Structures are given as C-alpha cells and as structure tokens.
Copies of this chain bind each other. A is one copy, B any other.
Amino acid sequence: MTVDGRTKRAEASREQRRAQILERALGVFAEKGYHGASVSDVVKAAGVARGTFYLYFDSKEAVFLDLLDELLATLRAGVGGMDVSRGAASMEDQLQGIVVRLLQTTESNRELTRIIFREAVGLDAAVDAKLREFHDGLHAWLVVALRVGAQLGLVRENDPEIVATCVIGMVRETIHRYVVQSDAPFDADAVARGLVKLAVDGLRP
C-alpha cells in the first residue's frame, strides 16, 4: 500500500484520537479509580462514541496498560544511570539528581502517578507483571550499585538486598507522601536532600 498524503493525514489523526482518548481516560481513572470508572465514563469524557473506544483499544484494561507503560517509560528515563567511576560526581550528588528527577517526573504526572500508586497493585496479572518488572529492575540495579560502591570503599559493607529495599522504600514513600497524597507543591530539592542525607550517612563506610 502506498503511503500517500491521504494515508499520512489519516495516520496522524488516528494518533491524535488515540491520544485524546488516552488523556481523558487518565482523567476519569484519576477521579473514579480503575474499578469505579466504566468505559461509559471514559467515552463520555472523551466525547466519542462507545464503538470508537474499541476502535483504538481492545478493552478497558488495555487503556490502563497503555497509561502504565507511559509512566514507567517516563520514570525509567528519569532514573537514568549513575556513574560509579572515580572522578565522577560524588555518589551523593548523583543520588540527589536521581531523586529530584523522580520527584519532578512524578509531580508533573501527578494524576498518572496517583493512579498507578492507588490502582495498579493487584489489579490484574498483566499489570502486576509490568510493575513487578520495573520494581525488580530497580532493585537489581541498586544491588549492583551498592556492591560496586562497597568494593570501591564508597559505602560501608552491607547487605545490599536489604539496603536496596530500604532505599526504594524511602523514595516510594516520599513520592507517595508528597506527590500522591497531597496536591500541594513542595521543594523537591530539599526533600531529596533530606532523603539522600539519610541514605548516604546511613551507608558511610
């Protein structure tokens, strides 16, 4: 099939429609929760017909999975990497950067973050798998970082499994408190500094 002007325009509009439904679905899920929201609510909010929804998504669950993917991708980008080689910025500064980015990313996607924190757990096997994969990936990455840090003498000897769990918990709960549970703006730098100081001092050799 030739990709002529007509086809291209159609594709663009298709993408727009999809994005529009996705965005409105986000709003509806944020307001009513996944189980509380019906496909009816979503199509009403999106201003499209019932059938149109199913033209773009296979099911209610599929929209949710798409939203989840979106946030997880954004978060992954936000975490980025940490450079543990000598001469790189100090571990403390790097950690500070990561935490700030996470706080900012989640804050600018407050609704989405809220939905994921509140609805995504125990929703469904596919959702669970995605979340768990992200979580486990983070954990594994932290474990490695802690091992390397200990070998380099940057952090004290420790049980990296437990410490990684704790650090993730610190960040998770911080996001929960400042982004999910509250609507108020907050000083991401200061919060991150408090968190990082606790973690880094707790790990000083």
- Chain A contact-residue range equals 35 or more
Interface of A is mostly: helix
Query: Shortest distance in angstroms between A188's beta carbon and chain B's nearest beta carbon?
Result: 12
CB–CB A165/B174 < 8 A = yes
Complex-state Cα separation, A6 to B162, whole angstroms: 55
Determine the residue in chain B with the shortest Cβ distance to A33: B122
Report the minimal beta-carbon distance from A140 to chain B, rounded to whole angstroms: 13
Interface stretch among A89-97, A105-113, A197-205? A197-205
* B contact residues around A163 at 8 Å (CB): 194, 198
Q: Nearest residue in B to A166 (C-beta to C-beta)?
A: B170
The reply on A44 being an interface residue by CB < 8 A is: no
**Which residues of chain A from 145 to 182 have any CB-CB distance to chain B below 8 Å in the complex?**
158-159, 162-163, 165-166, 168-174, 176-178, 181
